[in-house]
Amino acid sequence: MEVSEEPAEDEMAQARNLRLSREAIFTYAAYPLLLLGALLVLPLPFSYLGIFHYSTVMPDVLVISGISVMFFGAFYDFGAKGYVMELIDNHFRITEIDMNHIYKQQVKLMGIYIGLGLLYVVCGVIIFAF
Amino acid sequence: MAAELIQKKSSAQKGTETILEVKDFSVKFKTFRGELNALDRINLELKNGEILGIIGESGSGKSTLALSLMGMIPENGKVEGRVRLFGKTVAATDISGEALLKMKRKKAKILSEKLRNIRWKDVSMVFQGSMNAFNPVYTIYKQIAEVYRIHTDYDEERIRKKVTETVKRAGLNPVILNSFPHELSGGMKQRAVIAMALALNPSLVIADEPTTGLDVVTQARIITELKNIVIKRVNSMMIISHDIGVVAQLATRVVVLYSGWIMESGSIEDIYLRPSNPYTKASLESYPSIASEKIFMKGIPGTPPDPINPPPGCRFAPRCFFAREICSREEPPFAQVEPGHFSKCHFAAEVISSGGRGKVEVKDEQFGSGVSADDKVLIVENLSKFYDLRTSLAGRLFSRASQRRIVRAVDHVSLDIRTSEILGIVGESGSGKTTFGRTAIALIPSSGGDVKLKVGTNELSKSVSESDGHAIGITVGNEEYMDVTALRRGQRNYKLLRKKTQIIFQDPYDSLDPKMTVFDVIREPIIAHRTTRDPEQVLMMVRDTLASVKLTPPENFLYRYPHELSGGERQRVAAARALVLRPEVLVADEPISMLDVSLRAGFMNLLLELRNRFGVTIIYITHDIASARYVSDRIVVLYLGIAVEMGSSEDIVRYPHHPYTRALIDAVPNPTPNWNPRELKIVGDIGNAVNVPKGCRFYERCVYAQDMCRVTPPPVQTDGAHWYLCHFTQEQLAGITPRSG
Ligand SMILES: Nc1ncnc2c1ncn2[C@@H]1O[C@H](COP(=O)(O)OP(=O)(O)OP(=O)(O)O)[C@@H](O)[C@H]1O
Ligand code: SF4
Ligand code: SF4
Ligand SMILES: [Mg+2]
């Protein structure tokens, strides 16, 4: 037996949820950004020591990493399965609307990851051009 | 009434026509370790109108037998003998298992065509665990329609009509057709599976463990459903289960399997009232029932045989209380003891004349008592545990704004646990049993409330800092307690808590590290708590503990790895690890639910004995009220995080007061032939602990609910030691006409 009526949501709760969900998106987006930063910075000392040519090696590395990030974004579920399992374990009712919300969030993140992947590629191109 | 109808129906048609004939049928599987004899020279007949129950524990060959009837023997199987269904051979040496690999393409195709026609139309099967086998990405409609699409040439229109009809007849609302499997509860999914099996009106339905994994209330409903099906829809049915209580309610004839052998077969009365095989008898005597007096269950010693190297002679001989010298030498014949009643035992005649359920005198020391109501080891006050699913990253990302995501897993539970008592915690899945057990000993932090654990004077360490020791120690009456909920990990007293409280987990397969020997597993806590460093003494402690959990001689077990142990032995090792430091409180979380049926009684007796010998207090968590009644002194019933009733276990079972407890008790199957569950006075399924009603938490499922129940939380009704949470006294409840469930 389910509770038929969900309690009317006050604006506070909505705002809070929006904030939480934004935070989560930023956190997910932060990982590839941090990785990009690390990729750009970490090899610098080695290239400075003359171990390899930054401008010839890095574009390839960045393009490959960028594509990997895009693929990752396209195939990873961002923890959706675990979340749904958790709901099921706790006897939640999961409706079409919930599923759509989950898909929507996934698509958003996928878009962000593809965008970030492109950013990698752009960085690669810039380094190549200079 | 249903049983009478089944009886009538079956007797009317009895003896008409044999629909299933299994003749000298054996299945051997090739495995890495050698040949495994899953079924050994089985002979079986099913007449039109019969409901055949197959009982056996895990690994006895039940599922293999069912698959054989469908002609679905895995390709590593070697088959002898044959199975004929409606006069057609569905399994035989040259057409099943291994033989398929060598078969010519064309012949194989004809064969599979033939089998496909038999499946679903003549015989269909509800597979073990199939409610979890729905494809999660298709709607229920699509999956049921598939059956029609493959096996008939109906057009879309007709299929839609048929599918709707089918689910309606299974007692489901057609609305669910557009749902995805995850939206349905276990019970609804199981109904959908049954609906699917009935789709093409087969003459025989095989149901393999149709109620395993369901809550007891749902189980009772599915059984009623199956009964109706037998009465109205199909001619014959085969019910396969490890649970003799479930089979008792449905079958008219029963076959008992053990290690690939048919140990006994006969009418349901033959088997349950006049068992002629020691295995059947011992199984019946180890099944906890709530209908009769509490009697001591001996259990079956030892473990089921290794299917690759079964013992010579009778396979049950090493565990049989009747065994004589001849048993380990000669295989017993499968012989008739009475008309229609067969048994595979050298001494069948003697066993049958030794009477039904053996009267074993209840000795108080077996169950133990002498628990003092004033001596409390654990005081739980308003203990709560709420989970916010939004704390995880994925939770925050995927939660919808208009949804509450706070699960009230345990909600203000207060109770005292007495020194050396066994307290049973009973409830459906999702009622918060496990969470309660874990928060009570601070294995997971609580969200509110207090738990106090009794300690000896000066046992608390105050050396870390005076204030810390002070905050943790509390005096109640003349006793010292430690405030468990105020403890933080890393504090010195936290170690004391861990030493005094231990837990046994449900799954003996998960809870032991496969890379550690039994010795290492049990030694671990000794090392972690720096109890002693003397290797001699460590060995002594480990051996003593092994002996106390009946793993004797300990030398045989010390250096074995978990995978070399049976489930029951593993659970004993888990118990030994929990007991090695002589804890005062032991939480046993569903310790027997993963064990073979024949091993359960033994483990329950072990818990009783441990309490009696060492005075350990045990919190026994279970969904099975019959086993809780057997081991515990008192029982508390949880519903959606709330304790709704508590009392001595006999009181709870004999005089349940809360409407929920009453329904739970009514739903428990009883191992007597043709037993009918009482009409269940409960509505719907257990919901979630999120949007809980303001008033009584049981409101939506309660058949006695009144308006006030919706908004006002109920008070405690009590007559001394037995209390329940409800607005109404027993007399008042008797005056309310229940709404229908
Ligand atoms: N395909 C297979 N290959 C090898 N061994 C198998 C195979 N299928 C089953 N077995 C073995 O055959 C024996 C009988 O298995 P079966 O599944 O029929 O038991 P069961 O009585 O249905 O048990 P449960 O109650 O656990 O479902 C077991 O020892 C099992 O491990
Ligand atoms: S043959 Fe012997 S060992 Fe086997 S069941 Fe009968 S008495 Fe027991
Ligand atoms: S308080 Fe009302 S709803 Fe709750 S159990 Fe009692 S009668 Fe049922
Ligand atoms: Mg099985």
> What is the distance between the alpha carbons of residues A113 and A21, in angstroms, rounded to a whole number?
16
Give pLDDT, residue A77.
85
The larger pLDDT score, comparing residue A8 to residue B145, is at B145
Is residue B96's pLDDT more than 90? no
Indicate whether B588 pLDDT > 90.
yes
Average pLDDT over residues B353-372: 58
Res. A92: pLDDT tops 80: no
Quick check: A10 pLDDT over 70? no
Give A75→chain B minimum CA distance, Å.
Answer: 16
Structural tokens at position B55: 């009982």
Most ligand 2 atoms within 8 A of CB, residue of B264, B277, B316 to mutate: B316
Taking the CA of residue B589 and the nearest CA in chain A, the distance in Å comes to 17
Distances (CA, A) of B25 to B20, B80, B82, B112, B320: 13, 5, 6, 21, 25
Does residue B460 surpass a pLDDT of 80? Answer: no
Residues of B with CB under 8 A from a CB of A: 180, 182-183, 185, 387, 389-390, 392-404, 407, 430, 683-693, 700-701
Point out the residue among B393, B399, B700 whose CB comes nearest to the CB of A17.
Answer: B399
Beta strands in B32-68 (DSSP E): 34-47, 51-55
Per-residue pLDDT for B405 more than 70? no
Is the CB of A18 less than 8 angstroms away from the CB of B401? yes
Residues of A within 8 A of B690 (CB-CB) are 90, 92
Q: Is the pLDDT of residue B345 over 80?
A: yes
How far is B25 from chain A, CA to nearest CA, in Å? 42
For ligand 2, whether the C-beta of B334 sits within 6 Å is no
- Please report, rounded to a whole number, the percentage of residues in chain B having pLDDT higher than 70: 92
- State how far the Cα of A1 lies from the Cα of B416, in Å rounded to an integer: 32
Q: What is the pLDDT of residues B121-130, one digit of tens each?
A: 788 888 777 7
Chain-centre distance for alpha carbon B185: 18
Residue B7, pLDDT above cutoff 80:
no
Q: What is the DSSP letter of B286?
A: T
Q: What is the mean pLDDT of residues B362-384?
A: 75
pLDDT more than 90, % of chain B: 27
> Is there an atom of ligand 3 within 6 Å of B657 CB?
no
Ligand in closest contact with the CA of B207: 4
Pick from B554, B472, B565: which is nearest to B511 by CA?
B565
Confidence check: pLDDT of B9 > 80: no
Indicate the range of A39-43, B57-61, B92-96, B456-460 predicted with least confidence.
Answer: B456-460
Ligand 1 atom nearest to CA at B257: 21
**Does the pLDDT of residue B403 top 70, yes or no?**
no
Q: Which of B194, B195, B283, B274 is nearest to B247 (CA)?
A: B283
With CB atoms and an 8 Å threshold, state whether A27 touches B691.
Answer: no
User: B315-319, B648-652, B653-657, B683-687: which range is least confident on average?
Assistant: B683-687
Convert the pLDDT of each residue in B672-681 to its tens digit: 887 766 778 8
- DSSP-assigned states of every residue in B610-656: HHHHH--EEEEEES-HHHHHHH-SEEEEEETTEEEEEEEHHHHHHS-
Residues 30-69 of A with CB under 8 A from B: none
| Ligand 2 in reach of B314 Cβ (< 6 A) | yes
Q: How confident is the model at residue B26 (pLDDT cuts 50, 70, 90)?
A: very high
Q: Say if residues B409 and B638 touch (Cβ distance below 8 Å).
A: no
Give the confidence band of B471 by pLDDT, cuts at 50, 70, 90: low
Where are the strands (E) in B313-465, listed by range?
Answer: 334-338, 341-344, 376-388, 406-418, 422-426, 448-455
pLDDT over 80 (residue A13): no
ipTM score of complex: 0.79
Output the CA–CA distances (angstroms, integers) from residue B627 to B217, B224, B295, B425, B653, in the order listed.
16, 23, 12, 11, 11
pLDDT of residue B637: 96
What separation in Å is there between the alpha carbon of B247 and the centre of ligand 2? 24
Grade residue B332 by pLDDT with cuts at 50, 70 and 90: very high
Name which of A2, A9, A21 is nearest B397 (Cβ-Cβ). Answer: A21
Ligand 3 binding pocket includes B77 (Cβ within 6 Å): no
The whole-number average pLDDT for the span B68-89 is: 86
Q: In sequence order, what E strands does B73-161 have? A: 77-85, 88-92, 123-126
Q: Please, are residues A62 and A124 in contact by the beta-carbon 8 Å criterion?
A: yes
Tell me the per-residue pLDDT of B513-546, one tens digit each, with 9 for 90 and over.
Answer: 888 899 999 998 898 888 888 889 999 999 989 9
Q: Decide the pairing of beta strands B501-504 and B585-589.
A: parallel
d(CA B398, CA A84): 9
Q: pTM here? A: 0.81
Identify the residue among A20, A27, A76 best suited for mutation to test binding to B, counting B beta carbons within 10 A and taking the highest.
A20
What pLDDT, in 10s, does the model give residues B244-253? 888 988 899 9
pLDDT value at residue B349: 87
Nearest chain A residue (CA) to B178: A96
Nearest protein CA to atom 2 of ligand 1, as residue: B29
pLDDT at B99: 75
**Is the pLDDT at A17 greater than 60, yes or no?**
yes
CA atoms within 13 A on the CB side of B664: 31
pLDDT tens digit string along B214-244? 888 888 888 888 888 887 777 889 999 988 8
Interval between CA B307 and ligand 1 midpoint (Å): 10
Instruction: State whether B689 and A98 contact (CB < 8 Å).
Output: no
Q: Helices B567-579 and B535-548 sit at what angle, rounded to 10 degrees?
A: 130
| Closest B-chain CA to A89 | B430
Among candidates A6, A21, A93 on the partner chain, residue whose Cβ is nearest the Cβ of B396: A21
Cα separation of B228 and B3, whole Å? 10
In short, whether B696's Cβ falls inside 6 Å of ligand 3 is yes
Inter-chain residue contact B689 with A102, CB threshold 8 Å: no
Q: DSSP 3-state helix, strand, coil percentages of chain A (rounded to 5)?
A: 80, 0, 20
Give pLDDT, residue B4.
52
Q: What is the DSSP string of B395-411?
A: HHHH--TT---EEEEEE
Chain B residues with beta carbon closer than 8 angstroms to that of A83: 389, 392, 394-395, 397-398
B626 or B232: which carries more pLDDT confidence?
B626
* Under 8 Å between Cβ of B206 and B238: yes
* pLDDT, tens digit, 9 for 90 and up, residues B283-304: 988 888 887 778 888 888 887 8
Q: Scanning the structure block, which residue is given the tokens 């050298």?
A: B346
Res B163 pLDDT > 80: yes
Q: What is the dihedral of CA B41, B42, B43, B46, to 10 degrees?
A: -160
Report CB contact under 8 Å: B397, A105.
yes
Mean of pLDDT values over B179-183: 77
Q: Which two tokens stand for residue B93?
A: 């040496």
* Residue A1 clears pLDDT 60, i.e. is over it: no
CB within 8 A of B430, min separation 6: which ones?
A: A90, A91, B640, B686, B688, B689
- Alpha-carbon distance A26 to nearest alpha carbon in chain B (angstroms): 10
B648-659 mean pLDDT: 93
